Amino acid sequence: MAVMLVAAGAALAQAQAPAPNAPAPTPAPSTVERNAKGLAGKPIQVGIYLNVQPDCSSGPLPSIRLVTPPGNGTVTIKRGKVSATNYKQCLALEVPGFIAFYQSKTDFAGTDTVTLEVKFPQGRTEVQRIMINVGVGPAGQKI
């Protein structure tokens, strides 16, 4: 009788354990709010997206999706080289990255908003709500 209870307990433990090949649950996206400002009709840098590994090399770049387009301009993503110093544990590096730019209509002044979804290769997703103040202050505030 004792042998049957042990076998039944082992079967119950196996039934409750997750399948060994089951995918890990996807974490909920985090939301980030940022601001940028610049002049009407001029490109305004609103984001830089890279993937720096612990050894300071570049990993796969994230994917970027336009969730909510701006009402008074356009967003473009360009691929380029990003140079940085004192980034994480890296004293100096140059890695590929995506750079996001917003450009308003030439006659627009005010605040515009764009929402981007950034999916990183490790599975993390970030929803970025970027408010752009157009036509006031010095141009080209970088993030």
User: Is residue 113 one of the residues assigned to a domain?
Assistant: yes
Size (the chain), residues:
143
| CATH number, domain with residue 112 | 2.60.40
Distances from the Cα of 125 to the Cα of 44, 95, 120, 128, 141, angstroms: 24, 21, 6, 10, 25
Per residue of the chain (143 residues), what is the pLDDT tens digit? 444 433 344 443 444 555 556 666 667 889 999 999 999 999 999 999 999 998 999 999 999 999 999 999 999 999 999 998 888 889 999 999 999 999 999 999 999 999 999 999 989 999 999 999 999 555 555 55
User: Is residue 96 one of the residues assigned to a domain?
Assistant: yes
* Secondary structure, 3-state, 29-63: CEEEEEEEEECCCCCEEEEEECCECCCCCECCCCE
Structural domain of residue 89, as residue ranges?
A: 25-134
Work out how many domains the chain is built from and give that number: 1
User: Is residue 112 one of the residues assigned to a domain?
Assistant: yes
User: Is residue 39 one of the residues assigned to a domain?
Assistant: yes
